[in-house]
Amino acid sequence: MDHEMTTCIRFLVKIMLVLLTLNVLSGCWDIKEIQDMNYITAIGIDYEDGHFVVYTQMADFTSVAKTETGNSGKPAQVWTSTSRGKTLDMAINQLYDTAQQRTIWSHISSIIISEKVLKTQIISQLDTIARYQEVRLTPWVFGTRESIEDLLTAPAFFNLSPLSTLSHEPLEEYKQKSYIVPLRYFDFLAVMTEPACTALLPNLTVDQKTWEKDRKPNPKLRVDGVFTIVKDTMSAILTNDKLNGLRWVQANTKRSPVLIMNDEDYAGVVVLQSPKIRKELKIVNGEPKYELHVKLDGNVVEALVDFTKSDYEREAAKIVRQEIIDTFRNGLKAKTDIYSLEHILFKREPGLWKKLKQTSPLIIDEDSLAVVQVDIHLDHVGMKLLPRRD
């Protein structure tokens, strides 16, 4: 009898363990499928008539998935929304009224901020983005003076997803031609909160002229210049033609071309890369004087005249030096410290920096940049042998 009782108890224990195991396995009953959620890929923020206007972009995941041919054969489908509210969070919450399904914000890879918002206290106005736990701080961030809707609906090539456009993937294009450094949102916040620094926010535009599809204009995204942000507020906007020297004082520059001149004729093209930058500060009669020392490597990609290697190095150095000076002066005309030279003074002589800031919001002038030295070394000149001079 005892044996039968023991056997029965063991059987009941086994049954209970099986039931407990089944209960654990059924714990995924509330998981949502991918197709049952909305994934926001980009957000645009504007300000009109006392209200925040929020634009969002959603992409069809069937156009994101890769196929053997590289695209689905059909134009990528893009959904955009527009919502308004007295604050940014209220504008975002209005979106939920028509979202149909749960909306996920963790896939945002692009943030676009209008000029109107940039003219306000940016960090406080955009508090929701940094505070909401789903939104990462890694998206690329841009400013714009154009319609945010046009930016969010600009098509990619070959019917690919909008995730294959400049607003979501700016690095690959920057590696081929470095001009304006792409900016992550966390870097943007860091520079804005650092004293004596000028944040350079890329200006995103739409190019309507360069590309055509079936003989019809095909708009594409383009970065044209920067918004300069000082003390959490926009101070100026400078277009690409005013910023030729900026690329030579940014350590992120991968490669960028320089047109070499021979009097009034074209002598060739030199591609320069990987600048090594040294900034120095000297105090002369109580005034800060700055020195920029830049070293660049590169190569000749087009030789149109009988220049030697030394000729190209010398001429390229002269052009780069002048571009650095011209860009500095263009910044001064816009009342902005384009190279953040004041930050050097703030770090090394904070007492003097505070004293000078009491007399003027901008404590640099044309004489502040006392020395600009540029050294260029060309690794090779291509297959064409350049002449030697004895």
Same domain (yes/no): 211, 264: no
Please state, in angstroms and rounded to a whole number, the distance separating the CA atoms of residues 265 and 303.
12
Whether 313 and 349 share a structural domain: yes
Same domain, 156 and 280: no
- Verify that 217 and 76 share a domain, yes or no: yes
Please report, as a single letter, which amino acid is at residue 181. Answer: V
Domain that holds residue 298: 243-389
Domain membership flag for residue 24: no
Which secondary structure element, helix H or strand E, spans residue 312, and what is its range? Answer: helix 309-333
Among 209, 242, 275, the domain boundary falls at 242
Of 242, 257, 289, which closes a domain?
A: 242
Do 348 and 235 share a structural domain? Answer: no
Q: What is the reported pLDDT for 78?
A: 87
Domain boundary (242, 275, 307) is at 242
Same domain, 281 and 335: yes
Stated pTM of the model = 0.87
Quick one: 92 and 121 in the same domain? yes
pLDDT, residue 15, reads: 75
Residues lower than pLDDT 70 in the chain: 1-5, 18-36, 61-73, 382-390
**Predicted pLDDT at 155:** 92
User: Count of residues for the chain?
Assistant: 390
Indicate the pairing of strand 287-303 with strand 369-380. parallel
Same domain for 295 and 318? yes
Q: What local confidence, expressed as pLDDT, does residue 12 receive? A: 73
Question: How many helices (DSSP H) and strands (DSSP E) are in the chain?
Answer: 12, 15
For residue 26, being part of any structural domain is answered with: no
Give the containing element (helix H, strand E) for 290: strand 287-303
Condensed to tens digits (0 to 9), the pLDDT of residues 325-339 reads 999 999 999 999 999
Are 97 and 79 in a shared domain? yes
Structural domains in the chain (count):
2
Q: What is the CATH number of the domain that holds 276?
A: 3.30.300.210
What distance in Å separates the CA atoms of residue 355 and residue 112, rounded to the nearest whole number?
37
- 125, 237: one domain: yes
Residue 8 covered by a domain: no
